[in-house]
Amino acid sequence: MRRRSFLQGAAVTAASAALLPSSVRAPATPPGARDYAGALWAPADTANYTVTKGVRARRVDRIVIHVAQQMFTPTIAIFRNPASRVSAHYVVRSGDGHVAQCVRERDIAWHAGAWDYNVRSIGIEHEGWVDRPEYFTDALYLRSARLTSDICDRHGLPKDREHIIGHHEVPGSDHTDPGDLWDWERYLRLVGTG
């Protein structure tokens, strides 16, 4: 099943759980779990990513930008559902730019749709829809760009379009996100000043 179709379908089944107060509150953050200090720890189920046991760090050479085709809380609920088989390292909320970390950067999130890209990239989901630019708020761009800048600094990545790509640019991808309405020029400018 295609990832985006699954995200949309799983959201319907996860919606009731996502609305419960316990699904909004994150569990206690294990020591060292958050890689980005500004993030809330909202862990994905371990059935939805690969834990790199015994590996201190993996080589990251890309950041993949996604648009979830979903709201913030249901996206996190999908990542917490062990049947979904999908995750991303981070999710950014549209209204205020709040960042949740769902998978540790040393682990492999299942976000790109191509294993060779999953093992070498960090995935950032953004609340919203590719054809609804009202979700691409100033707060979302700013907070996501700060996160991306921080990831680039920690992993020694250049802050350019070769290393910060859209999901649609993953070889073999049938996805369109982040879409034609994503302002790459603005985003990269903000990443550069991060």
Distance CA 10, CA 77 (A): 9
**Residue 16, number of CB atoms within 10 A of its CB:** 10
Of residues 118, 131, 133, the one with CA closest to residue 172: 118
Active site residue 125: yes
Residue 7 to residue 137: CA distance in whole angstroms: 22
Catalytic residue among 125, 127, 134, 185, which? 125
| Buried b / exposed e along 102-114 (16+ C-beta atoms within 10 A) | bbbbebbbbbbbe
Distance CA 165, CA 151 (A): 14
User: Cα separations (Å) of 70 from 20, 106, 125?
Assistant: 17, 26, 10
The answer to whether 101 touches 88, Cβ cutoff 8 Å, is no
Q: Please give the positions annotated as active site.
A: 125
